[in-house]
Amino acid sequence: MATRIHPSAIVEPGAQLGVDCDIMAGAIVTRHCVLGDRVVVHPYAVVGGDPQYLKFDPATVSGVRVGSGTVVREHVTLNRSIHAGGFTTIGENCFIMASCHVAHDCVVGHQVVLANASLLAGHVSVADHTFFGGAAAVHQFVRIGEGVMVAGHASITRDVPHFVMVAERDDVIGFNVVGLKRRGVAREAIAQLKLAYHEVYFTPGNIRNVAANALASGRFPAPEARRFLEFFSDGKRSFARARRAAADESNAS
């Protein structure tokens, strides 16, 4: 099907739109954008606007890439990169609800959901299958792992590893069992993840070293468990920490 550009929408010359896109009334898609197939941009969203960075030179050639099947709801802002040749990137089949903000140089994976008014600061990375509750906010340069569930109104200033749930201010409150089951992850892998989670978070010592030792032990062969442990070997920020109450509840389940 042909791409539809509704009355009063603005698509600047130079923007690249895929097949069967729907740019609704009042939406703005700047010349800095590359949209995949079937992307929907709702009224008054601005895709590819200049970054909110005081030293930014508007003459910089940079952009925003939005993957196929992604829906951008009303009043969303997706800002372009501050770096020449750089892109802010949104993956495929994402759902970005009303009034969300994705700042410059973010990298958002596939099938990510940002509920209303979620805010990602500059240089944030979000892996696939992650869900943000409404009004969650993420500090610049933070990494959010795969399959994470971020609670509404959470304030995230530290890296969050794969497959966990995080709430309040950097509080890991367990791992995302429901999300893993919905994605068809094997029971054995979930059991290994549970053990790896408890070893990393409730073994005394440096969390990076604990994770590295657990990985080297060979006790966690499931790919999901290994990916969880490998997360701690990367990044420059500290890590979100688990509540002891979450561990007690998980042990009882």
Q: 88 and 135: one domain?
A: yes
Q: 12 and 135: one domain?
A: yes
Mean pLDDT of 127-132: 98
Q: 159 and 191: one domain?
A: no
Q: 190 and 164: one domain?
A: no
Q: Which of 135, 159, 176 is the last residue of a domain?
A: 176
**Catalytic residue status for 50:** no
Given 48, 67, 122, 147, the catalytic residue: 122
Q: 58 and 122: one domain?
A: yes
Q: 100 and 54: one domain?
A: yes
Q: Is the dihedral of CA 139, 140, 144, 149 positive or negative?
A: positive
pLDDT in tens, 25-45: 999 999 999 999 999 999 999
pLDDT in tens, 80-120: 999 999 999 999 999 999 999 999 999 999 999 999 999 99
Query: Across the strands, what pairs with 242?
Result: 172
Given 22, 105, 128, 170, the catalytic residue: 105
Q: 161 and 187: one domain?
A: no
Q: 140 and 234: one domain?
A: no
**Catalytic residue status for 104:** yes
Which two tokens mark 148? 């994470």
59: Cβ contacts below 8 Å, ≥ 6 apart: none
Given 104, 110, 129, 162, the catalytic residue: 104
For residue 1, the model assigns a pLDDT of 74
Q: 69 and 147: one domain?
A: yes
Report the interhelical angle of 244-252 vs 187-202 (nearest 10°): 150
Residues of the domain holding 15: 4-176
Q: 196 and 135: one domain?
A: no
Q: Chain-centre distance of CA 126, in angstroms?
A: 3
**Catalytic residue status for 248:** no
Q: How many domains does the chain have?
A: 2
**Which CATH number is 85's domain given?**
2.160.10.10
Q: 17 and 48: one domain?
A: yes
Q: Which of 176, 197, 214 is the last residue of a domain?
A: 176
Q: Which of 176, 209, 229 is the last residue of a domain?
A: 176
pTM, whole model, 2 decimals? 0.93
For residue 71, the model assigns a pLDDT of 98
Q: 146 and 238: one domain?
A: no
For residue 244, the model assigns a pLDDT of 62
